[in-house]
Chain A
Amino acid sequence: MSDSDTVGRPGAPGLARGPRGGAAPDTAPEAPISTPQGSGGSPVQPPKVITRPGDKIFKALTVGSGVFVVAMIALIGIFLLIQAIPSLADNQANFLFGRDWDADPQGGLAFGVLDLLLVTVFSAVFALIIAMPISLGIALFLTQYAPRRLARPFAYLVDLLAAVPSIIYGLWGAYVLAPALSPISTWLNEHLGFIPLFATGTSNLAIGQTIFTAGIVLAVMLLPIITAISREVFDRTPPMQIEGALALGATKWEVVRTTVLPFGRAGYISASMLGLGRALGETIAVLIILSSTTSHFGFSLFDGGDTIASKIARAAQEFNDPRGAGAYIAAGLVLFVLTFVVNAFARSIISGHKEYE
Chain B
Amino acid sequence: MSTATDLNRPAAPPAFQEINASRRFKNRLATILVAGTFVLALAPLVWLLITVIAKGFQYVLNADWWQKSLAGLTSRQFGGGVYHAIVGTLLQGLICAVIAVPIAVMVAVYLVEYGKRSRLAKAVTFTVDILSGVPSIVAALFIYALCITTLGMPRSAFAVSLALVLLMIPVVVRTTEELLKIVPDELREAAYALGVPKWKTIVKIVIPTAMSGIITGITLAIARVMGETAPVLVLVGYTTFINYDPFGGSMASLPLLMTSERLTTNEVGEARVWGAAVTLILIITVFNLLGSLISRLTSLKTK
Contact = CB atoms under 8 A, between A and B. Distances in A.
Contact of B114 (A19, A163, A251): A19
Interface string B134-167: 1111111110111001100000000000000010
Chain B interface SS verdict (over half) = helix
Interface stretch (A34-42, A98-106, A238-246, A336-344): A336-344
B293 interface: no
A64 B114 CA distance: 12
Contact of B230 (A18, A79, A249, A309): A309
B58 to A, nearest CB: 17
A158 B188 contact: no
A119 interface: no
Given A20-B112, A137-B38, A168-B52, A281 B45 contact: no
A319 B234 contact: yes
A163 B288 contact: yes
B116 A17 contact: yes
A227 B237 CA distance: 36
Given A137-B36, A163-B223, A278-B133, A54 B255 contact: no
Contact of A80 (B29, B40, B145): B145
Nearest to A337: B138
Contacts of B104: 65
B201 to A, nearest CB: 8
Contact of A343 (B129, B139, B144): B129
Interface in A263-309: 274, 277-278, 280-284, 288, 309
Contacts of B268: none
B214 interface: no
A168 B48 contact: yes
A254 B118 CA distance: 42
A317 interface: yes
B224 A141 contact: no
Given A69-B124, A277-B133, A340-B130, A329 B230 contact: no
A35 B258 CA distance: 72
A323 to B, nearest CB: 11
Nearest to B46: A157
Contact of A339 (B135, B199, B230): B135
B199 A66 contact: no
Nearest to B169: A69
A167 B258 contact: yes
8 contacts: A25-B197, A26-B198, A55-B198, A64-B106, A161-B45, A251-B27, A312-B234, A332-B141
Given A76-B166, A283-B230, A309-B230, 15 more contacts: A21-B113, A54-B200, A59-B114, A62-B109, A69-B169, A69-B173, A135-B37, A161-B41, A161-B44, A165-B227, A172-B51, A281-B137, A317-B237, A340-B130, A347-B126
Interface of A: 1, 17-26, 29, 52, 54-55, 57-59, 61-70, 72-73, 75-76, 79-80, 82-83, 133-138, 140-142, 144-146, 154, 157-158, 160-161, 163-169, 171-172, 176, 220, 223, 227, 249, 251-254, 256, 274, 277-278, 280-284, 288, 309, 312-313, 316-317, 319, 322, 325, 328-329, 332, 335-336, 339-340, 342-344, 346-347
